[in-house]
Chains A and B, each alone.
Chain A
Amino acid sequence: MSQPSAETNSKNTVAAGFWSEAWKRFRRRKLAMAALIYVAALSCVALFAPAIAGTKPIICKYKGSIYFPALGYLRRQWENPIFLEIRKEYSTRMKEEDPDSWAVWPLVYQDPYRRVKEGEWPGQPGNPSGIMGAPSRHNLFGTDQQGYDVFAQMVHGTKTAMLVGFVSMGIASVLGISIGALAGYFGGVIDIVLSRLIELVMCIPTLVLILSVLAVVEEPNIWHMMVVIGITGWTGLARLTRGEFMKLKELEYVTAARALGLSGTRIMFRHILRNALAPVLVPIAFGIAGAILIESGLSFLGVGGEAPNPSWGSLLSAARNTLEETWWLVVFPGTAIFLTVLAYNLIGEGLQEATDPRLTQSGH
């Protein structure tokens, strides 16, 4: 019951010192840093996807005004309706209508939502369909069976891949860790009730839940999906956290903290939590990456939101039809998923070691 302001203050300084120290240690780990850079780069790709691959100019001057048609990839409304008069055929009809127009084009002239046809871009043939779409100069990662460019789909699918992982595992982690912590620390009736909640959620088949959601939600989108993955994916984390808390709450330092009169929440989240994270780090790291695969599995059930929704997972499932022939439909998205799993795990390991206060002494 001391002065709240003072306490908050000291907490902040402690926290700041701890995290900057951790960041210093993290930076020393080359692999972890490389992984972090990879994730940062991936975020950039996700953010700037329309500028990397697309068939709409990033910026153009048309009939005296400046436009940014590529924003239409992010939101339809952001593409100026004036281009309906050329039916959005920028590469061929813009010059025709207005000879003075100019445009800055994305790095790669390919579209994630359709096949690029013959004659759309000077010197670029139409995308091959069927099983003929092996990687080439014009289709860096090849094309799928219908002639959509794989590179463009992967670039535009990066956003989904990252969002799904972070949002759904974010929800799952917050739910799982706090419910597990409460159950493990307090025990007794609280544990009995929360454990039954965990069991209940575990036993509800995800497929059933998703299809029931469909009955309620008229226009399901990707956010619904992330929430569903999140609210069904936390139970394992909760069990793991609970187990750790049950063990750690009996340790001397916790007893000491309690003797000092610290509040339960404070002990839980400031003192035990840090030490209880080891078991959930790997599940979370794998979970973030694994959500990419779950997403494609769920879109199989029709909660994937609106099509076309290019994603790494959906490329992999498209590969199933012609697995032996179209290796590029497996190799490129597979590699992207592999690198992402690897990166998240390296970051997880880095975090684990960087935030371990004992490590400074151990001279690791």
Chain B
Amino acid sequence: MISYLIRRCLIGLITLLLITFVVYSLIRFMPGSPMTNEMAMLDPSKSISKEDYERRLKSFGLDKPWYEAYFVWLGNVTLKGDLGRSITQRKPVASLIGERAGATLLLSGSSLLLTYLLSIPMGLWFTVRSGKADERTLSTALYTLYSLPSFVAALYLQILLAVKLGWLPLMGLKSEGFESFSIFGKALDILQHSLMPIICFTYGSLAYFSRFIKSNMDEVIRQDYIRTARAKGVSPARVITHHAFRNTMIPLVTMIGLTLPGLLSGAIILEQIFNWPGMGQLFFASIGGRDYETIMGLTLMFSVLTLLGQLLADVLYAFADPRVSFS
């Protein structure tokens, strides 16, 4: 087990190297440079002279061929632990990510947790009531939610809860004078601000996850051992939760591994609507601005999370199903 983990971590490092190399080459391949937007936003009465252009490229370290620039980046990351500085915002990438990590984690983390907490019981319930009217109604309702774009829901929630009723704040993460609140007041304030974003972030995925659970359960409950258990008089609820559900653990664990990087990926549109200082907007803006350093910092973070998610899933397989062994 330990040796497996060590081996996986070593392989993971090599994978990271490969990923960052590929991504770096791809982002340098995108048309445009950090200068493109800068020049486009200039007053049309001005222009950047060739010399100034070269000077600025050089100050961004972009005068070198991309592979050289990659190794410079890699050197800084591995030797100095320095993710570099955002090209467009001139702040250290690590602090840009750090500033947003909390808010993103709050939103995505609660939303993921909520999704699993709601969809697992719903999925199990769907299995029991499969084909019955109540199952059909609820699942249809979930499909409806899935098809309702989150920006529509967000706007109507804002109009109703924030503008008309005034129960919740319209946007942002904190209220005016947040610093002076008590601990409890701070928590309540953040909760109030995050409620609408979390709802909008969550409702759409309920259908997917609950149907996913149900589909896997359907497969399992037809297995012979389940029928045996039933025949032996085990109560239906117990069959579902104890015998059947345990056997759908492999896909569920895979799914959890797959959603782990989502913890920090944020949501571009919802963050914009709720003025939420999250990672999605940062990522989107850094791609638009060709902010190579920031994109690489974010890619590195996502990649580490992705690899961890996969590793976690692989390790949990052995616990979820003893037949699976580390190889």
Contacts and interface: CB of A to CB of B under 8 A. Distances in A.
A and B, one complex? yes
Contacts of B299: 203, 205
A188 interface: yes
B47 interface: no
A251 B323 CA distance: 8
Contacts of B307: 199
Q: Would you call the interface of chain B mostly helix, strand, loop, or mixed? A: helix
B317 interface: yes
Contact of B152 (A188, A198, A275, A330): A330
B184 interface: no
B22 A204 contact: yes
Contacts of A39: none
A203 B253 contact: no
B215 A209 contact: no
B286 to A, nearest CB: 10
A97 to B, nearest CB: 46
A330 B27 CA distance: 35
A279 B254 contact: yes
B149 A334 contact: yes
B211 interface: yes
A307 interface: no
Size bin of chain A's contact surface: 35 or more
Contact of B295 (A208, A320, A358): A208
Q: Would you call the interface of chain A mostly helix, strand, loop, or mixed? A: helix
Given A211-B30, A211-B287, A205 B23 contact: yes
B287 A208 contact: yes
Given A208-B27, A334-B147, A279 B310 contact: no
B317 A243 contact: yes
Chain A CB count within 10 A is highest, among B30, B207, B295, B306, for B30
B39 interface: no
Interface in A350-364: 352-353, 356, 358-359, 362
Contact of A204 (B26, B211, B261): B26
A349 B143 contact: no
A251 B159 CA distance: 56
A282 interface: yes
A202 B30 contact: no
Interface in B9-48: 11, 14-15, 18-19, 22-23, 26-27, 29-31
Contacts of A293: 149
A187 B143 contact: no
A334 B215 contact: no
Interface in A204-230: 204-205, 207-209, 211-212, 214-216
B192 interface: no
Nearest to B253: A243
B216 A279 contact: yes
Interface string A320-340: 100110000010001101100
A142 to B, nearest CB: 16
B82 interface: no
Given A203-B23, A330-B149, A341-B143, A214 B208 contact: no
Given A320-B151, A323-B155, A352-B218, 10 more contacts: A203-B306, A204-B22, A205-B287, A212-B27, A242-B254, A243-B253, A247-B323, A279-B212, A281-B215, A338-B143
Interface of B: 11, 14-15, 18-19, 22-23, 26-27, 29-31, 136, 140, 143-144, 146-149, 151-152, 155, 159, 207-208, 211-212, 214-216, 218-219, 222-223, 227, 250-251, 253-255, 257-258, 261, 283-284, 287, 295, 299, 302-303, 306-307, 310, 313, 317, 321, 323-324, 327
Interface of A: 31, 187-188, 191-192, 195-196, 198-200, 202-205, 207-209, 211-212, 214-216, 236, 239-240, 242-244, 246-247, 250-251, 275, 278-279, 281-283, 285-286, 293, 316, 319-320, 323-324, 330, 334-335, 337-338, 341-342, 345, 348-349, 352-353, 356, 358-359, 362
